[in-house]
Structure 1
């Protein structure tokens, strides 16, 4: 199971450590933060104890309104589950009782100046990415007209050269050679680089090039949602079909289904242009448009 430390979380969001400097190596393994509202009133049946606990103005004002006895009871009932940490938002103060309980139980207490809703949004997005299941595959990842494309094929088939042509046409490189795939949800696959190969493209007969230095910042982006899997293969006689609309095919990565097409290579074929067409055609289908359906309707008249 992937994890990050509370210290990494504090560094990422520049959180103020109020209590528990020595406990910042505690691990966070769950992607979504939790606001312990029901738990403060004694309902613990679905308490996600392994999640980061967020205390916004509602929670803190509620605690302030309690008597010392009630406050100690409610806080004591929560800290005994030892969540990874508590984070107080909106730079709220008056937290002596909270500090005491966190010190006694060895739980880090941190604070941010950000308001609760935007902070939780940023925190959840960050945790979702860093804790997402991931694999590395051989290929090239590109953003073609805003469409995330995974380009695969055997070594030497021409993936990087095709990527270079697409970059020259204004599209963006995400990763070459090693593509890191992160599963963000049952339907969402994110493609990114492994930091080592960031911005680099390996071209046979030329060598390693830095696309940002060659073509500017617009030639590269850090990540993209993968929505199309394209495999480059050698030309095979009499195997290309010419139907009006091809039957959909899919490939799975970590159980996420991605539309798949195969492009056969032959001298003179504009492979980069075919990839552009495939990406734009996928987008039109998402908008409900089918060229084949429109063509068939024309034949009816």
Structure 2
């Protein structure tokens, strides 16, 4: 699922000034890439990215001022296609009258910002990437534990929400319960958040729906979090072999990314909140270069080697 963005959304989000083309504010924006039409101003349109927001900075405006009015109008009319979302002028520069004329004829908005071109480009790109990123919904609970986005998954009734409640009581922050919307912002980043209708809410069987922010304060929740690790809760199976050392590394594929996964068996008496909390701390420690399981295995092998040499 991909969210849609209109020129009106972009205008309101970045507080852009509308110069002309109000009729085109509902034009869709389908890509987060921007275009700075320098080559197009010279007449080269072979690779014109017409579906991108066209950004004009000092360079483009200065170049157009050196063109004749007729030639300038011709170039701008060529830029105005059915797929062109909008023109955005940075640094509060004056938009060329030819651009305004061509955009008005094509009913394409011309917007203006006070920001410098580079900074404006970053803001526009970041906003469009966040809105146009592909999104999937996953059943689970997302919690911010020591700065890590931990997605707790498992079958219905296994205790995900109750575990999240205990984690919140221990000072961690709830992001989403039951339905987690995950979007891929780039090749290395997955961001999880809650649907608006259930934001800050937890469903506890026997108790009902509670508002975590109302009960525990604003510090107990956050709106979104980068997904770092997945913890899968499953009912204890006595016939299944569970990793007791920590050398096995599981992965779960979300979009085209492999996310580290830990499987935790559930049975009466196990404090799942503490286990998940320690799992998050241990994951951070591994990223810092220390792996307790590998260190133990290495020490054990060294001890076996020493004993073998003594026996010989």
**What whole-Å deviation, never above 9, does each CA across 1:101-132 have from its counterpart, x for those lacking one?**
11122211111122222222122111112111
**What whole-Å deviation, never above 9, does each CA across 1:243-290 have from its counterpart, x for those lacking one?**
433321111222322111111112222211221222222223333332
- Which deviates more from structure 2 when the two are superposed, residues 26-35 or residues 275-284? 275-284
2:247–2:293 Cα contact (<8 Å) kept: no
**What whole-Å deviation, never above 9, does each CA across 1:14-65 have from its counterpart, x for those lacking one?**
2211111111111111122222223323343443221111112222122223
1:146-295 pair list within 5 angstroms = 146-237=147-238, 239-295=240-296
- Which deviates more from structure 2 when the two are superposed, residues 57-66 or residues 211-220? 57-66
**What whole-Å deviation, never above 9, does each CA across 1:173-206 have from its counterpart, x for those lacking one?**
1111111111222332211011000111111222
Secondary structure, aligned partner of 2:186: coil
1:82–1:107 Cα contact (<8 Å) kept: no
Partner of 2:134: 133
Q: Distance in 2 between matches of 1:83 and 1:285?
A: 48
Q: Which runs of 5+ in 1 are unaligned?
A: none
**Compared CA separation, residues 123 and 109, structure 1 to 2 (3 A):** same
Deviation at 1:81, TM superposition (A): 6.7
1:32-111 pair list within 5 angstroms = 32-80=33-81, 82-111=83-112
Q: Distance in 2 between matches of 1:39 and 1:281?
A: 54
Q: Distance in 2 between matches of 1:138 and 1:298?
A: 40
Q: Distance in 1 between matches of 2:53 and 2:192?
A: 26
Partner of 1:17: 18
Question: Structure 1 length normalisation: TM-score?
Answer: 0.92
Secondary structure, aligned partner of 2:138: strand
**Compared CA separation, residues 82 and 265, structure 1 to 2 (3 A):** closer
1:40–1:78 Cα contact (<8 Å) kept: no
Compare CA radii of gyration and give the structure with the larger one: 2
Q: Distance in 2 between matches of 1:218 and 1:235?
A: 34
Deviation at 1:298, TM superposition (A): 4.2
Q: Distance in 1 between matches of 2:152 and 2:243?
A: 22
Q: Distance in 2 between matches of 1:62 and 1:16?
A: 23
Q: Distance in 2 between matches of 1:240 and 1:277?
A: 21
Partner of 2:124: 123
1:89–1:114 Cα contact (<8 Å) kept: yes
Partner of 2:7: 6
Counting matched residue pairs gives 301
Q: Which runs of 5+ in 2 are unaligned?
A: 304-312
Q: Which runs of 4+ in 1 moved over 6 A?
A: none
**Compared CA separation, residues 205 and 80, structure 1 to 2 (3 A):** closer
Deviation at 1:295, TM superposition (A): 3.1
Q: Distance in 1 between matches of 2:146 and 2:165?
A: 15
Deviation at 1:210, TM superposition (A): 1.2
- Which deviates more from structure 2 when the two are superposed, residues 37-46 or residues 244-253? 37-46
Partner of 2:306: none
Deviation at 1:297, TM superposition (A): 4.6
1:82–1:105 Cα contact (<8 Å) kept: no
Partner of 1:31: 32
Q: Distance in 1 between matches of 2:279 and 2:45?
A: 51
Question: Structure 2 length normalisation: TM-score?
Answer: 0.89
**Compared CA separation, residues 62 and 2, structure 1 to 2 (3 A):** same
